[in-house]
Structures are given as structure tokens and as C-alpha cells.
Homo-oligomer: A and B are copies of this chain.
Amino acid sequence: MDRRRRRRRRRPARPRAGGGDPAEEDRLSTPEQPRRRSGRRPGSPDTRDAVLTAARETFAERGFDGATIRSIATAAGVDPALVHHYFGSKDKLFLAAIHAPADPAELLPEVLAGGPDDLGRNVVRLLLRVWDGPMQPAALALVRSAVANEWTAKLLREFLVTQVLRRVVGTLDLPAPEREARGALVASQLIGLVMGRYVLKVDPIATATPEWLVAHIGPTVQRYLTGDVRPPSVD
């Protein structure tokens, strides 16, 4: 059962807008209960949390592309300018909402600079650098929660597709269906590497050096990026 559904069921029992999901609350109370809104100062942690909760719900429901800062601000009962002020951009808001352990926009340019022929190895190398480093617990928490719960699975998929794969595959000049097919194939190998090394701990994937993994798994990712791949609809 996803979180939103549970929260909605709880709503009628609430005393006066107190208690549940702040986003949900504000959506309902915004027009009728101005007193409550006035109690929330623009800079308070309460406001920030309300925005993040509204963002998680909106991104899970509409996807990254379908969600707008305006719709999230409305859901949280705040001004869109405030959301911009806090988080800067929709990408940054998304990363904060899902507790992303790293910002692919900062890490990927280095990987992409190597050119298309080294893309496969470089992507695997970067993934291992993030996961073998101090971000591992946060990354693992994200994966565990995505597997446990459909709602978080959607958010992790949006993260992978819009923040990672789109940036990687976007460097290749390709029509959209082919880009998506290549991105999804890359995802399948990268997720499996993470699962095998950090979750199920299958030896020797779990214990191998990053270079061994780059040497063996990099060519797979490379083939998915630049080898023979047709989008499914052409079949």
C-alpha cells in the first residue's frame, strides 16, 4: 500500500488539519483556513518539509516531466518563488525530495567528457566511485525503499531515467525511442551491478576491484549505448 493512500485514509480522523501529511493538509485548508497558513513562516523548516512532501507526491504521481514547481508549490500551500528560492531548480528539488546521495548533474560531465567510445567504462567507474564511497548508505537506503514500496520505486525510476540515463544517452545523437531503449538496457546492467555487489553480495562481484568490474561490465554498457540496439516497436 503506498504512503499517499494510507495518509488519505487517515485524513478524516484528524482534529483540525493537524497531524498528517503537511502537503495534503495545506491543499485542503488553503482557501478555508487562512489562519493556519499565516502560522507558517516562509523560512521555517516546517515549510521546507511541506514542500518536500508535496514534491515527493507530485513527482511520484505525475513523473518528473509532468510535475512543475508551480504544482508542487500549490500542493504545499506556498508561493512558487519560495520553492525556487529554497531549491533553485526542479532538478535540485527532486534530488532533495528523494534524498539522492549525489547529484548526477555534477558528477556526469566528467564521465561524458571522455567521448562516446569510453562512455560504458566511464559510467561503470563513476557508479562504483559513488557506491564504494561515503554515499553508499544513503544510496542503499534509496534502493531498499524502492524495492519495498511501489511509490518509492516510481521515484527511483524517475531519478534513474531523468537524472542519469537521459544525461548519458543524451550525448548520443539518437531518436527518442532508441534513446529510451538504450537507456533502459544500461539501467538493467547498472541496477544488477548494484544489487550483486551491495545488496545480494554475490562473489566475486562483491569483492572485486572497481577496475575488474569496469573491464568486464563496461563493455556491456558500451554495447547498450553504441552497439546494435533497435527500439522494441521496430520488432
Contact = CB atoms under 8 A, between A and B. Distances in A.
Interface of A: 143-144, 146-148, 153, 156-157, 160-161, 177, 180-181, 183-185, 187-193, 195-197, 199-205, 207-209, 211-212, 215-217, 219-220, 223-224, 229, 231-232, 235
Contacts of A143: 147
A209 B181 CA distance: 13
B217 A153 contact: no
Given A188-B189, A211-B235, A202 B161 contact: yes
6 contacts: A153-B199, A157-B202, A177-B204, A191-B196, A192-B192, A219-B223
From A144, A177, A189, residue with most partner B Cβ within 10 Å: A189
Contacts of A231: 204
Nearest to A140: B147
Contacts of A146: 199-200
A193 B212 CA distance: 22
Contact of A229 (B161, B190, B216): B216
Contact of A188 (B147, B192, B207): B192
Given A148-B148, A212-B235, A220-B223, A187 B201 contact: no
Given A196-B191, A217-B188, A201 B157 contact: yes
Contacts of A201: 153, 157
A174 to B, nearest CB: 14
Contacts of A157: 200-202
A195 B192 contact: yes
From A160, A177, A202, residue with most partner B Cβ within 10 Å: A202
A214 to B, nearest CB: 11
Given A148-B147, A209-B235, A188 B196 contact: yes
Contacts of A188: 189, 192-193, 195-197, 202, 205, 217
B202 A187 contact: yes
From A184, A190, A200, residue with most partner B Cβ within 10 Å: A200
A208 B232 contact: yes
A115 to B, nearest CB: 23
